[in-house]
Copies of this chain bind each other. A is one copy, B any other.
Amino acid sequence: MVSTTKQHLLELGLSLLLKQGYADLGVAQLLDKAGVPKGSFYHHFESKEDFGLQAIDLYMQGVHGALEAAFGDSSAEPLAQIRRFFEMVSEGYKGDGYLGCLLGGLGQELSGISPAFRKKVEECFGVIARRFEKALRVAHARGQLRDGVEPRELADLLVNCWEGAALRSRLRRSGSPLGQMLDFYFAAVQPTKR
């Protein structure tokens, strides 16, 4: 079981990382904001890097929760499940004041200098893309995708285009790039209406 102090540090750290990024967040600042005595950080985490990687794990718990909620609704068609997932994610972004996606933020900031973060973020995108791919294969089998598209590639495209929209949403503190991207994507992948 995760100690409440550790959980508290990760939850607070997650929100600070989303806003400030990694380098700008000092361990002393984190402990001060958390009201946790100095010295306890290295009781719970091997290093700041270990803390950051565990904060990504916590972020992914939220992502997995949304994936399960969206794709667990077997009454919905697969493209509607995907849309539902992103609506939940968008609601989360809104709740944060549109700061974008932690994976995109830390991926950009750290992938040039930290092989561990680079690997971690790419793995997380891979996990999310594979869940989309599964739904897109069902959509494909049901004739709900345009001819000639490839579910695996479409799944990666969805992750990537979303991340770009999330960056723009962060810059503008607005949800509109997110909805625009989804409308564009779903119009592009579905068969042309006759």
Please give the count of copies of this chain that the complex contains. Answer: 2
For residue A69, give the distance in angstroms from its CB to the closest CB of chain B.
Answer: 24
Q: How many residues of A contact B (CB 8 A)?
A: 46
Identify which of B105, B108, B181 contacts A100 (C-beta below 8 A): B108
Contact with B along A152-194 (1 / 0, CB 8 A): 0110110111111111101110000100110010011000100
> Which A111-140 residues have C-beta < 8 A from chain B?
111-113, 118, 121-122, 125
Q: A125-B171, A184-B188 are in contact. List 19 more A-B contacts (CB 8 A).
A: A19-B113, A20-B113, A21-B108, A22-B23, A23-B109, A104-B108, A107-B108, A107-B170, A108-B109, A121-B171, A122-B172, A156-B180, A157-B180, A160-B161, A160-B168, A160-B177, A163-B167, A164-B164, A188-B188
Measured between alpha carbons, how far is A171 from B112 in the docked complex, in Å? 8
Question: Inside 8 A of A118's CB, which chain B residues have their CB?
Answer: 171
Whether A125 pairs with B20 at a CB distance below 8 angstroms is no
Q: Top 4 A-B pairs ranked by shortest CB distance?
A: A164-B164, A23-B23, A188-B188, A108-B108
- B24 pairs with A113, CB closer than 8 A: yes
A residues neighboring B (CB under 8 Å):
18-24, 99-100, 104-105, 107-113, 118, 121-122, 125, 153-154, 156-157, 159-168, 170-172, 177, 180-181, 184, 187-188, 192
CA distance A149 to B143 in the complex (A): 24
Alpha-carbon gap, A167 to B21, bound state (A) = 16
Rounded to whole angstroms, the CA-CA distance of A172 and B156 in the bound complex is 12
The residues of B that contact A170 with a CB separation of less than 8 Å are 107-108, 111-112
Q: Are A24 and B21 in contact (CB under 8 A)?
A: no
Most buried by B among A18, A157, A167, A180: A167
